[in-house]
Amino acid sequence: MSRPRIAVIGAGWAGLAASIELAPVGEVVVFEAGREAGGRARRVRDDSESLDNGQHILIGAYRECLRLMRCVGSDPERSLQRLPLSWYQADGLRMACPSLPAPWHLVLGLLRADGLSWGEKYHLARALGTLRRSGWQVAEDGTVSGWLRRERQPEALLERFWRPLVLSALNTPLEIASMRILATVLRDSLGGSRADSDLLLPRGDLSALFPDPACAWLREHGAELRFGHRVDSLETVEGGVRVEGERFDAAIVAVAPYHALALIGEEAMPAGVKDLSFWPIYTVYLRFARPVRLPRAMTGLAHGTVHWMFSRADGLFAAVISAPDAATLPSRTALVAAVVADARRVDPGLPEPLWSRVVVEKRATFAAVPGRIRPPARTGLPQVYLAGDWVDSPYPATLEGAVRSGVGAADALRQDWDS
């Protein structure tokens, strides 16, 4: 069987995953507009500092991410800090799950939780039990807030548990967030084994975690990586495609939906893709003369500007603000001051920061709303496939969704090539 020549457009986690799957069976050329791989989950250099474009969290259930990391020689046991599931808001709900088999880790964690009354614990356990019994599925997709109303969840529970959970898991406010997508996240994190629910925090930067070793592995396996190369033209021709005038047997378009639409046109895409909306994520990085003393590696605030704070192994402090209404956020200077004030609520003696940086990802994730169009890997064009966190998947915009979509596109391409 001949080896197909394949163009992969986009070297985010989806494009890298597709390339890794295809490099052993084809001649892979990766086109990436940026100077480095990693897309929305990568290192960004800032003078002397090496930051990420945003603090990321993985969970034990990210099987395909972990599998591909191992495949390219990145050892997740060393590169990720594994923590048992916990939820620690300094001024709100505090819950830690003990090392017991599922679901007992969750049951005991919930029973011992601080910040919820016994009545609220009962209501939360009942709602999670309902979901568990239905196989973590909802018959009809609707908003999370509609589902919570039907489950008679008390207002205090909405504010202390569900709202911050939905914001951090889906980066979408619960009034408009999809219950079906949330149920998938809960199934993976709470419905599997205890290890599935573990939180995995990168010890170093995001590029070192996967994109850098993936690129090295791809080169070793004969793939060609073209950075700083934005693809502007893709056309189908008899038995193949032309990418920037160069002939390939097939192409995987692993870019964000608005870039994919520009490349392959609306006709080849299901209606609705062009109407997708997005939410931003702000990450505020600070460096102090000493590490910030957080009570937990991942510490939240129920009533603050910041949603979650991380004191990173490299001495940096990262504060995440999910899906903010950009119109209500203060100027950058005022935002940094608000984040410092939030940090001092958990570490009162904290000095003034030596350095600060605000990283804004305006279109960090698609809005995980009910009835979203998730196109399949196969497009309306022969030999052209889609990958990306927004392509057919039950997940919100996550690293795992992106990697699975890349593996899925590679599978579809291989099947078509072999048939």
Ligand X SMILES: Cc1cc2nc3c(=O)[nH]c(=O)nc-3n(C[C@H](O)[C@H](O)[C@H](O)COP(=O)(O)OP(=O)(O)OC[C@H]3O[C@@H](n4cnc5c(N)ncnc54)[C@H](O)[C@@H]3O)c2cc1C
**Applying CB under 6 A, does 249 fall inside the site for ligand X?**
no
**Applying CB under 6 A, does 57 fall inside the site for ligand X?**
yes
Q: How far is the CB of 259 from ligand X (least distance, A)?
A: 4
Q: How far is the CB of 52 from ligand X (least distance, A)?
A: 8
> Among residue numbers 333 through 362, which ones bind ligand X (CB under 6 A)?
361
The answer to whether 54 and 312 are in contact (CB under 8 A) is no
Residue selected from 45, 230, 274, 293 as contacting ligand X according to rule CB under 6 A? 230
355: number of Cβ within 10 Å: 13
Stretch that binds ligand X, among 39-47, 96-104, 109-117, 340-348 (CB under 6 A): 39-47
State whether residue 408 is helix, strand or coil. helix
Decide whether 153 or 305 has the Cβ nearer to ligand X: 305
Encoded amino acid at 137, one letter: Q
How do beta strands 278-287 and 317-322 pair? antiparallel
Q: Among residues 201, 169, 190, 200, which one has the least CA distance to residue 105? A: 190
- Total residues at interface with ligand X (CB under 6 A): 37
**Applying CB under 6 A, does 164 fall inside the site for ligand X?**
no
- 361 membership: H or E segment, kind and range: strand 355-366
Stretch that binds ligand X, among 36-44, 134-142, 145-153, 309-317 (CB under 6 A): 36-44
Decide whether 199 or 346 has the Cβ nearer to ligand X: 199
**Applying CB under 6 A, does 10 fall inside the site for ligand X?**
yes
The answer to whether 57 and 298 are in contact (CB under 8 A) is yes
Stretch that binds ligand X, among 4-12, 84-92, 139-147, 244-252 (CB under 6 A): 4-12
- Give the separation between CA 337 and CA 353, rounded to whole angstroms: 10
State whether residue 265 is helix, strand or coil. coil
Residues in the chain: 419
Residue selected from 5, 27, 33, 357 as contacting ligand X according to rule CB under 6 A? 33
> Among residue numbers 91 through 130, which ones bind ligand X (CB under 6 A)?
none
Residues 6+ apart with CB under 8 A from 397: 171, 364, 365, 366, 368, 389, 390
Decide whether 9 or 97 has the Cβ nearer to ligand X: 9
**Applying CB under 6 A, does 388 fall inside the site for ligand X?**
yes
Decide whether 346 or 364 has the Cβ nearer to ligand X: 364
**Applying CB under 6 A, does 231 fall inside the site for ligand X?**
yes
**Applying CB under 6 A, does 43 fall inside the site for ligand X?**
no
Decide whether 127 or 358 has the Cβ nearer to ligand X: 358
The answer to whether 365 and 281 are in contact (CB under 8 A) is yes
Residue selected from 18, 20, 23, 40 as contacting ligand X according to rule CB under 6 A? 40
Residue selected from 39, 60, 76, 353 as contacting ligand X according to rule CB under 6 A? 39
Q: For the purposes of burial, counting CB atoms within 10 Å of the CB of 287, is it exposed (0-12), middle (13-18) or buried (19 or more)?
A: middle
- Give the separation between CA 219 and CA 196, rounded to whole angstroms: 32
**Applying CB under 6 A, does 8 fall inside the site for ligand X?**
no
Residue selected from 124, 281, 350, 410 as contacting ligand X according to rule CB under 6 A? 281
Decide whether 124 or 251 has the Cβ nearer to ligand X: 251
Residues 6+ apart with CB under 8 A from 96: 84, 85, 86, 87, 88, 109, 112
- Give the separation between CA 357 and CA 139, rounded to whole angstroms: 44
**Applying CB under 6 A, does 308 fall inside the site for ligand X?**
no
- 259 membership: H or E segment, kind and range: helix 257-264
- Give the separation between CA 141 and CA 419, rounded to whole angstroms: 36
Decide whether 97 or 256 has the Cβ nearer to ligand X: 256
**Applying CB under 6 A, does 13 fall inside the site for ligand X?**
yes
Would you tell me which residues interact with ligand X (CB under 6 A)? 9-15, 31-34, 39-41, 53-54, 56-57, 230-231, 254-256, 259, 263, 281, 283, 361, 364-365, 388-389, 397-400, 402
